[in-house]
């Protein structure tokens, strides 16, 4: 498990000083100096701020805020690149324009030396690679911020791909996450606009996501689950996991020698049927979502391989999504209401599928849904682009402050990615027509006898629990009212900033009192001619006056830096 602690003391902050300095320098470079001032970081790492160069930064005025954030994350390194990639899948946490920009982040870094990789394999699998494998290539096939992939051959002749976690990456991630959490805490405390986006929650959720990604046991479990789902489907391949050679930091899996789906020329050279490949690839993702509710959340061209006989193989199962039966049915109902141009029903389902704090104006939402339908549906179904439709739907929900949950957005992104691959292979492909049988299957499943019986039993059980517990709960409330033990808790919001301001005021008053006391005390010592003397003046009194002057200058600078006396 990742060991992440809050930075609440100066000592712990100083232990992170070098990395903190790098982060702050990048923030200054991309125009976030004002944010640093607002966060009052000087209270924690004054020396760190003094060390940072304040030379005029590059001309970045023409860049948007989202572009600056993306470039800053790229410069900050692996953990922050991963943060951007995760946020690009979270419309419930960040604005739409940031999602578009963060989607451009690439996770490619130079490989580390093989000796350190060998040490990781030896430590995790209890034997060096040369004892475990008949052959282990020292040059990686792929290199990312978290791990590197190597080709190897087992003693029995099986060719495998071995994913090995970079040495020391967990410690780097832990330090970066602790600094992230500290900055997020300061944002919520001092910047109201940032507090609305709940930065602490973002960091905490990111830490949980990253914990899953750097645990290769989780990825192996995902691969096993997909393999079971498609065990009887001969056109779908999932790489086999070699569990005896797998741990939290090393993943050994079957080597796939297929052709990447993006290499269209090679597919044609091998006389593979692009139309069949397109249909099977689309069916694979559609069945994952609408039939199994468990899907590969990152089906970009680099993760899809084509095998002989036009079979499909997915790789890299670090990011997966899951949608329950009710969500799938709601999504299908949304599609059905859009196709039948029922804007009222569509608006109601959008509210059911999204998260919101303040209920939007329904009439305005309904009007925008009708406009959305008009832009997309008064054309042949074959001409409808799913990716553009979903992007406009995301824009619509964002305007009404409706947040789409992570797994629903991952599902939408998976559909858009598959459509992009399909259009590359077969420009005449009709994604809507391909999805129609799956949508009909979900709609008809609600009326199957077994499903109706199951729903009735579940509803009866819930009603029975309510009938049994409600009288008891009502009696308990009545008893507390009678004994005057019923309490109402009020949650105060927005007081943190006011309390912080009061603390600052009281600290300045206390500081001023100390300065005044030093001046008065020093004056009395000088008047009473307390030895020792320097030029006939009491040395202790002079020291007191100097201390008061320094403290007074310090207080004045602190006040001026905040922009007001």
Residues known to be catalytic: 298
For residues 437 and 431, give the distance between their C-alpha atoms in angstroms, rounded to a whole number: 11
CA of residue 166 relative to chain centroid, distance: 21
**What sign does the CA torsion over 94, 96, 98, 99 have?**
positive
For residues 507 and 376, give the distance between their C-alpha atoms in angstroms, rounded to a whole number: 60
Question: Residues 310, 340: contact at Cβ < 8 Å?
Answer: no
Question: Residues 461, 416: contact at Cβ < 8 Å?
Answer: no
**Number of other residues whose CB lies within 10 A of the CB of residue 420:** 15
Strands 236-237 and 304-307: unpaired
Instruction: Determine the 3-state secondary structure of 232 from DSSP.
Output: coil
| CA distance from start to end of the chain | 48
Q: How far is CA 484 from CA 411, 487, 507, in A?
A: 51, 8, 41
Strands 537-538 and 533-534: antiparallel
**Number of other residues whose CB lies within 10 A of the CB of residue 419:** 23
For residues 318 and 298, give the distance between their C-alpha atoms in angstroms, rounded to a whole number: 9
- Distinct helix (H) and strand (E) counts, the chain: 24, 13
**What sign does the CA torsion over 426, 432, 436, 439 have?**
positive
């Amino acid at each position: 498990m990742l060991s992440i602690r809050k930075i609440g003391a100066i000592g712990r902050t100083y232990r992170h000083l070098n990395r903190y300095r790098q982060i702050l320098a990048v923030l200054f470079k991309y125009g976030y100096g004002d944010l640093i001032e607002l966060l009052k970081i000087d209270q924690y790492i004054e020396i760190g701020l003094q060390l940072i160069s304040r030379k005029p930064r590059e001309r970045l005025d023409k860049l948007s805020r989202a572009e600056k954030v993306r470039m800053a994350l790229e410069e900050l390194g692996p953990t922050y690149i991963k943060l951007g990639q995760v946020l690009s899948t979270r419309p419930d946490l960040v604005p739409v324009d940031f999602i578009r920009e963060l989607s451009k982040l690439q996770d490619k870094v130079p490989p580390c030396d093989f000796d350190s990789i060998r040490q990781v394999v030896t430590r995790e699998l209890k034997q060096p690679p040369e004892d475990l494998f008949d052959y282990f290539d020292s040059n990686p096939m792929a290199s990312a911020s978290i791990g590197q992939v190597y080709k190897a051959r087992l003693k029995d002749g099986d060719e495998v791909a071995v994913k090995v976690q970079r040495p020391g990456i967990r410690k780097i991630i832990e330090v970066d996450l602790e600094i992230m959490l500290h900055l997020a805490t300061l944002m919520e405390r001092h910047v109201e606009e940032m507090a609305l986006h709940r930065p602490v929650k973002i960091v905490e959720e990111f830490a949980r996501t990253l914990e899953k990604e750097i645990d290769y046991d989780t990825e192996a479990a995902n691969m096993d689950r997909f393999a079971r789902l498609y065990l009887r489907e001969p056109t779908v391949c999932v790489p086999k996991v070699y569990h005896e050679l797998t741990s939290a930091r090393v993943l050994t899996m079957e080597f796939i020698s297929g052709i990447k789906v993006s290499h269209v020329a090679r597919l044609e050279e091998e006389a593979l049927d692009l139309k069949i490949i397109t249909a099977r690839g689309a069916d694979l993702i559609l069945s994952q979502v609408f039939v199994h509710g468990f899907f590969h959340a990152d089906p970009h061209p680099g993760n899809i391989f084509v095998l002989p006989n036009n079979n499909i193989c997915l790789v890299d199962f670090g990011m997966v999504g899951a949608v329950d039966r009710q969500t799938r049915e709601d999504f299908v109902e949304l599609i059905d209401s859009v196709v039948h141009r029922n804007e009222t029903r569509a608006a109601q389902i959008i509210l059911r599928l999204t998260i919101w704090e303040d209920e939007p104006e329904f009439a305005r939402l309904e009007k925008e849904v009708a406009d959305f339908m008009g832009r997309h549906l008064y054309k042949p179904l074959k001409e409808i682009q799913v990716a553009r439709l979903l992007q406009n739907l995301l824009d619509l929900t964002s305007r009404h402050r409706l947040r789409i949950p992570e797994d629903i957005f991952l599902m939408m992104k998976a559909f858009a990615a598959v459509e992009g691959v399909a259009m590359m292979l077969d420009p005449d492909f009709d994604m809507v027509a391909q999805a129609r049988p799956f949508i009909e299957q979900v709609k008809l499943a609600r009326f199957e006898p077994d499903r109706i019986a199951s729903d009735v039993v579940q509803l009866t059980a819930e009603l029975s629990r309510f009938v049994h517990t409600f009288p008891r709960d009502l009696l308990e409330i009545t008893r507390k009212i009678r004994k005057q033990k019923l309490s109402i808790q009020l949650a105060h919001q927005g007081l943190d900033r006011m309390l912080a301001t009061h603390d600052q005021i009281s600290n300045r008053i206390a500081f001023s009192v100390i300065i005044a006391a030093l001046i008065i005390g020093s004056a009395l010592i000088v008047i009473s001619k307390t030895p020792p003397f320097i030029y006939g003046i009491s040395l202790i009194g002079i020291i007191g006056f100097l201390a008061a002057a320094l403290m007074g200058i310090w207080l004045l600078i602190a006040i001026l830096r905040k922009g007001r006396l």
